[in-house]
Amino acid sequence: MNTARTRIIFTAAAAILLAASAIGGTAAARASVHHETDNALADSFNGVDRNTNWQQTSKLKLNFPTYHTEGIAFSGDHIFLSAVQIIEPTVKFPAPQGGFDRTPGKGIGHLFVMDLDGNLQKDITLGEGDMYHPGGIDFDGTNVWVPVAQYRPNSSAIIYRVDATTLDVQKQFEVKDHFGGIVMDKQTGHLVGNTWGSRRFAEWDLQGKELSTWDNPDFFIDYQDCQYVPNSRMLCDGITNLPQTAAAGGNAVTYELGGMAMIDLKSRNVVREVPFQQWSTAGHVATRNPFKMTADGDRLTMKVAPDNGDEGNGTEILTYEATVSTTK
């Protein structure tokens, strides 16, 4: 009887081990597929160069006041668009005063929540006092992260977390300096932000403790709106305003040089950057502000919203697509 019982126990244990092995193998296979899917955007973006043939495939006109657009993010059910409504413009000082180069101005920070057809569902007001300027935003799969800063360098900002489903707003923490963009590094669980002109980066834990800072090694463009790209990378768009020659209007006229860059958050190096020169209805380079990109194999889709509400045809979400060659 004891022998029979022992056989039963060993047989049951073997069955459990086999089942666990099967579950573990399935989980490993799923993890492998997930990892390959995660890397799709990075792999495809590495195939983008100056000769990539981007085609504009659609325009989505937004039929509500959008002011000066800043960042964009997409969840399964919503489009999120950050924007600043300027009530009183900042004014440059003849010389710095109190560590600032200009007045604070006045404004209202907005996070517009739309359905996937661009219909406004909610206008969330963000900011406090002189901190009214939302920047580039990022969706981490659950929350939308929004920095709202003073509209001047070397100032201060609030980092907000907005639940993408309930739309509940949580003030996460405040930081000293103007941070105009943010991503959630899913590998570390930390937040990474970039300052005015993207001259410096900072990394925080979710309680706002600054873990590290580093200078941007690149001077090609000022990053405007970024997104997280596995594993521990961020993809940003941006713009540099360059003065024209005297014959083309001189310093009173600027040329908008647009581009995109991918940054490795481990090495802190720019690993890929390319110019982008297609233009919006109002004549802005398409990478002027809101920007997000996805990949489906070797097919890249980019969505941007460079025009303000009072320019051209108003704010339009433009979609560009391109097929690239990737090497693995």
* Sign of CA pseudo-dihedral 19, 22, 28, 30: negative
Give the CATH number for residue 274.
2.120.10
Question: Is 29 within the bounds of a domain?
Answer: no
Question: Is 7 within the bounds of a domain?
Answer: no
Residues 75, 114 contacting (CB under 8 angstroms): no
Range in 31-35, 75-79, 169-173 with the lowest mean pLDDT = 31-35
Question: Is 104 within the bounds of a domain?
Answer: yes
> How does strand 190-195 pair with strand 106-114?
unpaired
Question: Is 162 within the bounds of a domain?
Answer: yes
Cα angle: 137, vertex 142, 146; to 5 degrees: 20
Cis upstream peptide for 46 (omega within 30°): no
Check: pTM over 0.85? Answer yes or no. yes
Question: Is 253 within the bounds of a domain?
Answer: yes
Residues 225, 71 contacting (CB under 8 angstroms): yes
Token pair for 62 = 């937004």
Report the pLDDT value the prediction gives residue 250, as an integer from 0 to 100: 84
**pLDDT-based confidence at 327, cuts 50/70/90?**
low
pLDDT of 22 higher than 90: no
Rounded CA separation 72/82 (Å):
6
Question: Is 123 within the bounds of a domain?
Answer: yes
Tally of domains in the chain: 1
pLDDT of 50 higher than 70: yes
pLDDT of 155 higher than 50: yes
Report the pLDDT value the prediction gives residue 249, as an integer from 0 to 100: 84
Question: Is 223 within the bounds of a domain?
Answer: yes
Q: Which domain holds residue 221?
A: 39-323
Using alpha carbons, list the distances in angstroms from residue 181 to 166, 186, 237, 257, 315.
23, 16, 11, 19, 20
> Does residue 38 or residue 163 have the better pLDDT?
163
- For 232, counting Cβ atoms within 10 Å of its Cβ (0-12 exposed, 13-18 middle, 19+ buried), the class is middle
Over residues 129-144, mean pLDDT: 98
Question: Is 179 within the bounds of a domain?
Answer: yes
Rounded CA separation 71/135 (Å):
6
Over residues 43-55, mean pLDDT: 96
pLDDT of 214 higher than 70: yes
